[in-house]
Structure 1
Amino acid sequence: MAQASVAARTAETVAARLGRRYAAERRFRLLGLASILISAGFLVLLLGTVVAKGWTGFFQTQIAMEVSFDADVIDPDGNRDPAILDAADYPALVRNALAARLVPDGDRSARRDLSALVSTMGAEQLRRMVAQDPGLIGAKANVWLLASDKLDMVNKGQATDTLNERQLGWLAELNKAGLIRKAFNAQFFTGGDSRAPEQAGIWGAVVGSFFSLLVTLAVSFPLGVATAVYLEEFAPKNRWTDLIEVNINNLAAVPSVVFGLLGLAVFLNVFHLPRSSPVAGGLVLALICLPTIIIAGRAALKAVPPSIRQAAAGLGASPLQIVAHHVLPLAMPGMLTGTILGMARALGETAPLLMIGMVAFIVDIPKSPLDPSAVLPVQIYLWAGSSERAFVEKTSAAIMVLLLFLVVMNMAAIWLRNKFERRW
């Protein structure tokens, strides 16, 4: 009886412990699931906020006007001199077209309010039309003119206080007459930066990012792969190599602004590289990517089984031939994955580029890595600090483009890993 009671108590104790263990496991699973749901919720909130504010940036408001290409304004001498045609008062043509439609009585105070309806790009549109077809001089034509950022915000429903009551009445009149439309904002993808929000584009920043990443890839990939191969395959195991490994791992965690200070001190002040240029930015980003590429490269080399090396050595291959002909090709997919992830991090960096002057307002599209330029994250930073309300949607739209690039680069890394990775 005593033995039976002891066994019963032992069974009860074990059952109670198992019950507590299972309960703890269920709580742990619920906590993990709750953490995932909370993280996903914040991610959806972030992306939803960005998309809600930025999708309208891919469209722009245009106004249809019947423009009279008055010869007295464009070419008073009638000799069709290109220099005179280029310097003509095209803003007057825009004002006259708006006044003829909205202020036929010639009210001067009302005419002053007309300037807030059409972008300064409208005059540039007319100048280009005349330059392409001088036969327009003296004729009339219906033209879709780019609206100002103030009218654009009101027409998109994102603001109501950027126009006064008279201007809001004109907008309602134009909408009623079917003279207002929303068109795809090609200028956003093909133009450079601008002080006027409706004319600002990301193409200059995209080209600057491309040149910067090109320099980063050209510098960091060969150096990173060579360093990983040497440390993993050839370097002797001693305190010096251990010290190098520790420093490489530490560099991967160093704040990026420190690399920007290094680039400012070395690349600009010592080597005198052009300030705000993609070549300087690319070199700084290469320093940031190197630890990631080296660590990923060493991990890829370690994943190659020793039997590959032993088989090659048994056939008489030299250590260099073993690495170059057998180990490195098998480890290259992992190295490429690490490189793409490092480049994706470099694409989103802002702080180190601010330190080397890539925060300047640059309108021109860079033609080479030596030309001054901005990059996409810095462009977003500049627009986010602008006082014009229309830059809010530009900022969010540019963030959407940047996120798209990052998603594509990470998907490319996953595709390379799944397609070429070998499981031993």
Structure 2
Amino acid sequence: MTNSNLSTREKVEKSMKRRRAGEMRFRAYGMASVLFGLLCLVLLFSDIIYKGASAFRQTVLNTDIVIDASYLGIDEKSSEKEIMNANFEGLIKQHFKETIKPEGRRERSQLYGLLSVGAGWQLQTLVLDNPSLIGKKINVDLIVDDDVDQWFKHDRGQQDGSTRLSDLQISWLESWVAEDRLFTRFNKQFFVNGDSREPELAGIRGAITGTLLTLVVTFLLSFPIGVAAAIYLEEFAPRNRLTEIVEININNLAAVPSITFGLLGLAIFINMVGVARSTPIVGGLVLTLMTLPTIIISGRAAIKAVPPSIREAAFGLGASKMQVVFHHVLPLALPGMLTGTIIGMAQALGETAPLLMIGMVAFVVDVPAFINDPSTVLPVQIFLWSDSPERGFMERTSGAIMVLIAFLITMNTTAVMLRRRLERRW
């Protein structure tokens, strides 16, 4: 009898050891999966930051230049139109021609190519803001060409032939570096300019403005419609076959590829209704269709989470169905609805495919002022820059991705904080 008991105990202990070993292996596999995911995330962010951090620095050339009134044909009393028509680009070329003294047309062309085409615009802006500068010598930091920018930030001192600059151009740049006239500063142009064909002048202001306008349209349409649909389906809709079909279709729409909504928007809003392409209003309409299923599903889940005792107590005090829903259920479910809405908006912020279908891939330089102005959005701007061969656009692509990720992290963090601060535990 004793031997039998010991044998049974040994079997149980062996079985427990196998179970504990199995649990330990499962935990190890789970921990390894989490660590692998974190490692991939760290590598992704590190690569983006490594390639995009330089986009927030702009190489400039410091120089003293005389705003020659006789050459420009203007004075302090000149009108804004006259100042805008003045040849500031020629003034800059004349200044460097006199100071560097290049020999021949070829050297002059190489010298002028070191500066950005936006350098004349810089001087023009300074004079427009302060006409008293006309006739005076001013100290200004002129934006250089994107090839010079990449050379100074990445290629200086290397002999691998990665730069497109000639030996003569590099000799001029090295002399400016020795004189401490060529340096980098914070690239505010990246945040205040619209898109441009020149990498050193390209910015994300137009894309960010278009994104914000598109999201405003999306929120104003999707939130009230989604909340109203969730309330009706959960509180008022009869339980029949039609309601079941609607609920199944809403759940299915949440998993439909986003490009399908772009095709739907192209067919209905543009071809049938006649809404202008590449505008925040049509982008907001398309993203509304895509976001509605997420808001409706999260809204219904928030309404279901309200305890039945709240409804029963309100009915017991003589409240009507409408009063119960809008005075008691909706205020308690609203935090969950807002959380779902923010998550849906964050998803819409990162969408590209549906907006490509409605023409928001157009090259738009001007910053949109209203929802019916031509514009693009940040994900599409990233898509456009990633297709450009210039190295300057490559770093701006990574810089714009960093800005987009910052927006997404902010929106998701806001959703989590709202949920923790406003939701009630029953």
The TM tier, using the shorter chain, reads over 0.9
The residue type paired with residue 30 of structure 2 is G
Deviates more, 1:300-309 or 1:111-120: 111-120
Looking at structure 2, the residues matched to 205 and 390 of structure 1 have their Cα atoms a distance apart, in angstroms, of 18
Shift of 1:171: 1.0
Q: 1:244 is matched with which residue? A: 246
The residue type paired with residue 60 of structure 2 is Q
How many pairs align?
A: 421
Q: Any idea what the Cα deviations from partners look like across 1:243-264, whole Å, max 9, x if unmatched? A: 2111111110100000000000
1:107-118 matched pairs, under 5 angstroms:
107-118=104-115
Shift of 1:50: 0.6
**Quick one: which of 253, 256, 273 aligns to 1:271?**
273
Report the CA distance shift for 1:78/1:217 in structure 2 as closer, same or farther (over 3 A): closer
Looking at structure 1, the residues matched to 79 and 322 of structure 2 have their Cα atoms a distance apart, in angstroms, of 71
1:80-91 matched pairs, under 5 angstroms:
80=78, 83-91=81-89
**Quick one: which of 300, 305, 325 aligns to 1:323?**
325
Report SS of the residue matched to 1:178.
Answer: coil
The residue type paired with residue 367 of structure 1 is A
Q: Any idea what the Cα deviations from partners look like across 1:151-201, whole Å, max 9, x if unmatched? A: 011111157413111111111100100111211111111111100111111
Report the CA distance shift for 1:399/1:13 in structure 2 as closer, same or farther (over 3 A): same
Report the CA distance shift for 1:366/1:12 in structure 2 as closer, same or farther (over 3 A): same
**Quick one: which of 177, 182, 191 aligns to 2:184?**
182
**Quick one: which of 143, 148, 151 aligns to 1:151?**
148
Q: 1:92 is matched with which residue? A: 90
Shift of 1:83: 4.4
- The percentage of aligned residue pairs carrying the same residue is 51
Looking at structure 1, the residues matched to 421 and 77 of structure 2 have their Cα atoms a distance apart, in angstroms, of 67
Structure 2: gaps of 5 or more residues: 157-161
Report the CA distance shift for 1:80/1:337 in structure 2 as closer, same or farther (over 3 A): closer
Report SS of the residue matched to 1:144.
Answer: strand
Shift of 1:136: 4.0
Say if 2:126 is the partner of 1:126.
no
Shift of 1:99: 2.8
Shift of 1:104: 2.6
The residue type paired with residue 94 of structure 2 is N
Say if 2:286 is the partner of 1:284.
yes
Does structure 2 conserve the Cα–Cα contact (< 8 Å) formed by 1:65 and 1:98?
no
Structure 1: gaps of 5 or more residues: none
Looking at structure 2, the residues matched to 209 and 85 of structure 1 have their Cα atoms a distance apart, in angstroms, of 34
Does structure 1 conserve the Cα–Cα contact (< 8 Å) formed by 2:260 and 2:354?
yes
Report SS of the residue matched to 2:276.
Answer: coil
Give the TM-score of the pair, scaled to structure 1: 0.95
The residue type paired with residue 107 of structure 2 is A
Report the CA distance shift for 1:115/1:199 in structure 2 as closer, same or farther (over 3 A): same
Report the CA distance shift for 1:418/1:4 in structure 2 as closer, same or farther (over 3 A): same
Q: Any idea what the Cα deviations from partners look like across 1:313-362, whole Å, max 9, x if unmatched? A: 11111111111100110000000000000000000000000000000000
Does structure 2 conserve the Cα–Cα contact (< 8 Å) formed by 1:116 and 1:150?
no
Report the CA distance shift for 1:30/1:67 in structure 2 as closer, same or farther (over 3 A): same
Does structure 1 conserve the Cα–Cα contact (< 8 Å) formed by 2:155 and 2:163?
no
1:191-206 matched pairs, under 5 angstroms:
191-206=193-208
The residue type paired with residue 320 of structure 2 is S
Report SS of the residue matched to 1:60.
Answer: strand
Report SS of the residue matched to 2:59.
Answer: strand
Report the CA distance shift for 1:76/1:24 in structure 2 as closer, same or farther (over 3 A): closer
Report the CA distance shift for 1:344/1:83 in structure 2 as closer, same or farther (over 3 A): closer
Report the CA distance shift for 1:401/1:142 in structure 2 as closer, same or farther (over 3 A): same
**Quick one: which of 392, 395, 418 aligns to 2:394?**
392
1:2-13 matched pairs, under 5 angstroms:
3-13=1-11
Does structure 1 conserve the Cα–Cα contact (< 8 Å) formed by 2:76 and 2:134?
no
Shift of 1:147: 1.0
Give the TM-score of the pair, scaled to structure 2: 0.95
Looking at structure 1, the residues matched to 38 and 78 of structure 2 have their Cα atoms a distance apart, in angstroms, of 64
Q: Any idea what the Cα deviations from partners look like across 1:281-312, whole Å, max 9, x if unmatched? A: 00110111111101101111111110001111
Shift of 1:80: 4.4
**Quick one: which of 233, 258, 261 aligns to 1:259?**
261
Looking at structure 1, the residues matched to 375 and 369 of structure 2 have their Cα atoms a distance apart, in angstroms, of 9
Q: 1:422 is matched with which residue? A: 424
Deviates more, 1:76-85 or 1:47-56: 76-85
Two-structure CA RMSD over aligned residues (Å): 1.8
